[in-house]
C-alpha cells in the first residue's frame, strides 16, 4: 500500500512539473515579450531586473506614477497605450512622436523614444523638460498643432508595389564605399492610402551596399549595387522595399535620357540636376540629395494618420 502511495505521489509530482512550466510559459512569455518590446521602444534596449521592477520603472517614466493594478493588467494597459488602438481612432505613443518630429522639421529620426522626446525638447525649449513622457509628449503635440493631443488614425494596408521617391542622406562612391556599408535615405514625398498618411516626407530608411564594382579596363564603368531594406512608416512600422520594374519605369519616365543607371537603379541628381553631374569618368559618386524610386515588396498593415494637406 505504501509503495502504491509512493508511486502515485511520484507520478503526481512528475506530471505537475511537466505541466506547470508549459502553463507558465503560456502565461509569462507574452508578458515578458511585451515588456521587452516596450523597453526597446523607449530606451533602445531591454533593461535588467525582475518583471515587476521593470514594469515599475516603465510606468514611472511613462505615466509619472506606479499603478496598483494586477501586473498582467498593468502590462496590457501600457502596451495598448504605446501600441495604440486605431479601431477607436487612438494613435500610439510612437505615432504621436513621429508626427511631432515630422511636423517640426519634416523628419523622423528613429531611435529610442525617450531620447527623441528629449532631443525635440532641446530643439524647442533649449533644455530637457521634466515630468512623465506621456505628459511631455502631449505638450509637444500642442506645439505641433494638435491642441487637444488627439491624432486621428486608421488601420490601413499599404499595397505591395506602391512606388515612391526617396533621397539619399549619405554619400556613396566606388572609391570609398564597401560591401556591407549602411545606406541612409529618406522619403522625398508624402505617401497616402486614400486620405490616410502612411509615409511622411522625411521618413528615414535603411539599406546596405550589396556590391561595389571598380572601374575596369576598356572603359568599363564602376557600379554600386544597393539593397534597400526598409523605411519607417508614420507609426514606426518597418516597410520592406525593393527596386522592381515599376520603380525603374517611374524613374525612367522622370529622368528620360539624362538618368544614370547604377546597379539596377535610375539615379536622379540632387536639386533637379541629373546625369553627368555626379558620374565622373569611370568612377561613380552618389552625393547626398540624389534621388531614385523604390517600391514596397509586400502588403503592409500599419497605423496611418488621417490627414490632408
If one compares 272 and 79, the residue with the highest pLDDT of the two is 79
Q: Give CA angle at 176 (173, 181), nearest 5°.
A: 85
- pLDDT tens per residue across span 168-219: 998 888 888 888 899 999 999 999 999 899 999 989 899 999 888 777 555 5
pLDDT for the residue numbered 264: 75
pLDDT for the residue numbered 13: 34
114 by Cβ neighbours in 10 Å (0-12 / 13-18 / 19+) ranks as middle
Percent of the chain with pLDDT over 90: 49
Would you place residue 5 in the very low, low, confident or very high pLDDT band (cuts 50, 70, 90)? very low
Q: Which residues of 136-170 are buried (b: 16+ CB within 10 A; e: fewer)?
A: bbbbbbeebebeeeebebbebebeeebbbbbbbbe
Cβ neighbour number for residue 131 with a 10 Å cutoff? 10
Q: Give CA angle at 225 (224, 228), nearest 5°.
A: 125
Rounded to the nearest angstrom, the gap between the alpha carbon of residue 221 and the centroid of all alpha carbons in its chain is: 35
pLDDT for the residue numbered 58: 97
Q: Would you say 261 and 243 are in contact if contact means Cβ atoms under 8 Å apart? A: no
pLDDT for the residue numbered 290: 87
pLDDT for the residue numbered 287: 84
- pLDDT tens per residue across span 148-174: 878 888 889 999 999 999 999 988 888
Rounded to the nearest angstrom, the gap between the alpha carbon of residue 128 and the centroid of all alpha carbons in its chain is: 24
Instruction: Show the cell assigned to 72.
Output: 498582467
Q: Is the pLDDT of residue 9 over 60?
A: no
Name every residue whose Cβ is closer than 8 Å to that of residue 178 and which is 6 or more positions away in sequence. 209, 212
Q: Which of 140-149, 249-258, 295-304 has the highest mean pLDDT?
A: 295-304
If one compares 279 and 113, the residue with the highest pLDDT of the two is 113
pLDDT for the residue numbered 90: 82
Instruction: Show the cell assigned to 278.
Output: 555626379
Q: Would you say 299 and 159 are in contact if contact means Cβ atoms under 8 Å apart? A: yes
- pLDDT tens per residue across span 17-33: 333 222 222 334 479 99
- pLDDT tens per residue across span 275-300: 444 555 567 788 888 889 999 999 99
- For the chain, the average pLDDT equals 81
Q: In the predicted model, what is the mean pLDDT of residues 110-114?
A: 87
Strand partners, 228: 207
User: How far apart are the C-alpha atoms of 103 and 18, rounded to whole Å?
Assistant: 54
Q: Would you say 117 and 42 are in contact if contact means Cβ atoms under 8 Å apart? A: no
- pLDDT tens per residue across span 230-251: 999 998 899 999 999 999 888 8
Would you place residue 256 in the very low, low, confident or very high pLDDT band (cuts 50, 70, 90)? low
Amino acid at each position: 500500500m505504501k509503495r502504491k502511495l509512493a508511486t502515485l505521489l511520484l507520478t503526481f509530482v512528475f506530471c505537475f512539473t511537466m505541466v506547470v512550466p508549459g502553463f507558465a510559459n503560456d502565461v509569462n512569455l507574452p508578458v515578458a515579450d511585451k515588456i521587452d518590446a516596450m523597453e526597446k521602444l523607449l530606451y533602445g534596449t531591454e533593461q535588467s531586473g525582475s518583471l515587476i521592477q521593470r514594469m515599475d520603472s516603465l510606468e514611472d517614466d511613462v505615466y509619472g506614477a506606479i499603478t496598483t493594478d494586477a501586473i498582467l493588467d498593468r502590462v496590457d494597459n501600457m502596451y495598448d497605450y504605446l501600441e495604440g488602438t486605431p479601431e477607436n481612432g487612438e494613435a500610439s505613443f510612437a505615432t504621436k512622436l513621429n508626427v511631432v518630429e515630422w511636423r517640426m522639421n519634416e523628419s523622423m529620426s528613429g531611435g529610442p523614444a525617450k531620447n527623441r522626446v528629449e532631443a525635440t525638447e532641446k530643439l524647442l525649449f533649449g533644455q530637457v523638460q521634466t515630468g512623465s513622457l506621456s505628459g511631455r509628449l502631449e505638450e509637444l503635440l500642442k506645439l505641433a498643432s494638435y491642441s487637444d493631443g488627439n491624432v486621428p488614425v486608421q488601420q490601413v494596408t499599404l499595397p505591395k508595389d506602391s512606388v515612391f521617391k526617396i533621397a539619399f542622406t549619405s554619400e556613396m562612391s566606388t572609391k570609398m564605399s564597401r560591401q556591407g556599408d549602411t545606406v541612409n535615405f529618406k522619403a522625398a514625398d508624402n505617401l497616402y492610402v486614400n486620405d490616410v498618411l502612411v509615409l511622411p516626407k522625411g521618413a528615414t530608411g535603411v539599406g546596405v551596399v550589396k556590391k561595389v564594382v571598380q572601374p575596369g579596363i576598356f572603359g568599363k564603368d564602376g557600379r554600386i549595387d544597393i539593397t534597400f531594406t526598409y523605411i519607417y512608416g508614420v507609426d514606426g512600422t518597418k516597410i520592406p522595399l525593393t527596386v522592381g520594374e515599376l520603380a525603374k519605369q517611374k524613374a525612367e519616365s522622370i529622368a528620360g535620357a539624362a538618368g544614370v543607371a547604377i546597379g539596377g537603379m535610375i539615379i536622379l541628381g540632387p536639386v533637379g540636376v541629373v546625369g553627368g553631374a555626379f558620374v565622373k569618368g569611370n568612377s561613380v559618386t552618389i552625393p547626398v540629395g540624389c534621388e531614385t524610386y523604390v517600391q514596397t515588396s509586400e502588403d503592409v498593415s500599419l497605423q496611418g494618420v488621417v490627414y490632408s494637406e
